[in-house]
Copies of this chain bind each other. A is one copy, B any other.
Amino acid sequence: MTNPAYGRLKARFARIGALEEAAGILRWDESVVMPVGGAHARGEQLAALAGVTHELLTAPEMADDLAAAEAAGDWDGPNLALMRRAHARATALPVALVEAVARANTACEKVWREARRDADFAKVAKLLTEVVRLQREVASGLAARLDLDPYDALMDGYQPGIGAADVEPVFEAYAGWLATALPRAEALQARRPAPVPLEGPFDAELQEKLCRWLSERLGLEPGHARLDVSAHPFCGGHPTDIRITTAYDEDNVAKAVLGVLHETGHALYERGLPAAWSRQPVGAAAGMAAHESQSLIVEMQACRSDAFLGFLGRELADGFGLPEAATSAANLARIWRRVARGFIRVDADEMTYPAHVLLRFRLERAMIRGELEVPDLPAAWNEGLRGLLGIVPPDDARGCLQDIHWHDGAFGYFPSYTLGAMAAAQLMAAIRRDLPDLDAALAEGDLSGMLRWLNLRVHGQGARLGFQDLLRHATGKPLDPADFTAHLARRYLDG
């Protein structure tokens, strides 16, 4: 079913994959253990790795092999298709444009930090204008090569095969639902008792011990994973050598605990990828939205369920000597499932989070299409948030300056968060149909049954199915926002 040209391509991708893994470990090292003085050298090391990897991916021999390659079947077929896609994306843009983008992104991101600190959009507007101008060029270049709409060509970089046409109807359906659901949820919440706060201080070592224990309890084996500290949490490494990080705040135990549950979801996906296809495109995760679905199905669907909160509350009570009034499942739910109209995406609750994403999706698509210019962004942002949540940020630091993404050249990424949240709800609905005793297991902190299901239907599929086909394969239908709104209704609108 395959030929020698395809064999050569597999060997080439095995090498590219190993070099990308090396870069991943260097980035982990940079965030977790590197002395500050090593920053410049690390930049050179990562640049050399990126350069070599790019050359391997764009070599003329590779184009010849792609033209001659033959592969078919459930795995080799999609693998070759993904190789072609990777090569097309890597060769679509002139080197001068790629370099200009890197320079513009770096310059803008640096000034953005000051602009956000000072809540002064004017400071970064000019540099962001250049970033947007270049992203439009990138989008057109990729669009021409990939035969996609320009904005879709950017989205495709994060979640292959997903475009605005997949996103827009499900996002708009959610928005329509939210308009009536949010006031109802708020009214219900107002009638409930005020939550009893979790009062610290929470010793960082005890937090780490609990987080490590929880992560193992969820199924992440210590022989294949580490948990460390970094300024911004992430999940990196290799499926056999996973590196997750968190940060400990002695006043706020939720930050690390919920953060580690989230990263453990990402980690379990990586652990479950098909080892036989390691370092092949088809053996990787199915995209950023698919990845987010796996962190959210663990953090939001499983671990914020009433059943799991009962288990987690007992662990918190034991670990930190907290009173039952604070650690009861009902009270934890009142703290960790609190709905609030806020300005900041990363602080948003599960119900309103997609509104923040929808706002960004609308604005970034308009910017790429040339329908919105950077100087008009703050006003459009404030108007958009008012329309979705009825609130207006008091300044741009809490408005269009809050996220790094655009200022670092990432356009088309935001939808992945909400696609992931919706997919998580859809997968969980299917799991609950197949595993009627799920809550009994979650009440013991036992995710093993759910993980076996996910392993079979999601993790172990690698990237052989696109996002929509993966959902079809796992749940019998493509992305359906009804499962997400039904989940939210059960959790936030049931009296």
**Nearest Cβ distance between residue A244 and chain B, in whole angstroms?**
12
**A22's closest neighbor in chain B, by CB?**
B45
Q: Are A41 and B226 closer than 8 Å at their CB atoms?
A: no
**Nearest Cβ distance between residue A25 and chain B, in whole angstroms?**
6
Interface residues of A in 22-61 (CB under 8 A from B): 22-23, 25-26, 29, 33-38, 40-42, 44-45, 47-49, 51-52
Q: Which residues of B contact A35 (CB under 8 A)?
A: 222-226, 240-242
Which of A13-21, A77-85, A161-169, A332-340 lies at the interface? A13-21
Q: Which residues of B contact A223 (CB under 8 A)?
A: 35-37
**Nearest Cβ distance between residue A176 and chain B, in whole angstroms?**
47
With A42-B241, A238-B41 as contacts: A33 and B33 at CB distance below 8 Å = yes
Q: Which residues of B contact A221 (CB under 8 A)?
A: 37
Interface string of A224-240 (1 = CB under 8 A from B): 11100000000001111
Docked complex Cα distance between A49 and B53 (Å) = 11
Give chain A's interface residue range (CB within 8 Å of chain B).
Answer: 35 or more
Q: Counting CB contacts under 8 A, is A291 at the interface?
A: no
| Chain A interface, DSSP helix/strand/loop, else mixed | helix
Q: Counting CB contacts under 8 A, is A360 at the interface?
A: no
Docked complex Cα distance between A101 and B238 (Å) = 29
Docked complex Cα distance between A281 and B226 (Å) = 36
**A222's closest neighbor in chain B, by CB?**
B35
With A44-B279, A241-B41 as contacts: A22 and B18 at CB distance below 8 Å = no
**A221's closest neighbor in chain B, by CB?**
B37
Q: Are A37 and B240 closer than 8 Å at their CB atoms?
A: yes
Q: Which residues of B contact A49 (CB under 8 A)?
A: 18-19, 22
**A239's closest neighbor in chain B, by CB?**
B41
Docked complex Cα distance between A45 and B49 (Å) = 12
Q: Are B226 and A37 closer than 8 Å at their CB atoms?
A: no
Docked complex Cα distance between A225 and B33 (Å) = 10
Docked complex Cα distance between A227 and B264 (Å) = 29
With A19-B52, A25-B45, A48-B19 as contacts: A38 and B240 at CB distance below 8 Å = yes
**Nearest Cβ distance between residue A273 and chain B, in whole angstroms?**
12
Interface string of A246-283 (1 = CB under 8 A from B): 00000000000000000000000000000000110000
**A44's closest neighbor in chain B, by CB?**
B18
With A15-B52, A44-B18, A279-B44 as contacts: A29 and B37 at CB distance below 8 Å = no
**A37's closest neighbor in chain B, by CB?**
B224
Q: Are A38 and B241 closer than 8 Å at their CB atoms?
A: yes
Q: Are B48 and A15 closer than 8 Å at their CB atoms?
A: yes
Q: Choose from B22, B42, B226, B239 the contact partner of A33 (Cβ within 8 Å).
A: B226
Docked complex Cα distance between A317 and B466 (Å) = 66
Q: Choose from B14, B29, B40, B222 the contact partner of A29 (Cβ within 8 Å).
A: B29
Docked complex Cα distance between A458 and B80 (Å) = 54
**Nearest Cβ distance between residue A217 and chain B, in whole angstroms?**
17
**Nearest Cβ distance between residue A92 and chain B, in whole angstroms?**
24
**Nearest Cβ distance between residue A278 and chain B, in whole angstroms?**
8
Docked complex Cα distance between A36 and B225 (Å) = 9
Interface residues of A in 161-194 (CB under 8 A from B): none
**Nearest Cβ distance between residue A376 and chain B, in whole angstroms?**
43
**Nearest Cβ distance between residue A68 and chain B, in whole angstroms?**
23
Q: Which residues of B contact A41 (CB under 8 A)?
A: 21, 238-241, 278
**Nearest Cβ distance between residue A62 and chain B, in whole angstroms?**
15
Residues in A lying within 8 Å of B, measured CB to CB: 14-15, 18-19, 21-23, 25-26, 29, 33-38, 40-42, 44-45, 47-49, 51-52, 221-226, 237-242, 278-279
Known: A15-B48, A52-B52. 20 other contacts (CB 8 A): A14-B48, A19-B45, A19-B48, A21-B41, A21-B44, A22-B23, A22-B45, A25-B26, A25-B29, A25-B45, A33-B33, A35-B224, A35-B240, A35-B241, A37-B221, A37-B240, A38-B237, A41-B240, A41-B241, A42-B241
- 29 of the cross-chain contacts (CB-CB < 8 Å) are A14-B48, A15-B48, A15-B51, A18-B44, A18-B45, A18-B47, A18-B48, A19-B45, A19-B48, A21-B44, A22-B23, A22-B45, A22-B48, A22-B49, A25-B25, A33-B226, A34-B241, A35-B223, A35-B240, A35-B241, A36-B223, A37-B221, A37-B241, A38-B237, A38-B238, A41-B238, A41-B239, A41-B240, A45-B238
- Report the 5 A-B pairs with minimum CB-CB distance, sorted nearest first: A38-B241, A18-B48, A37-B224, A37-B223, A41-B238
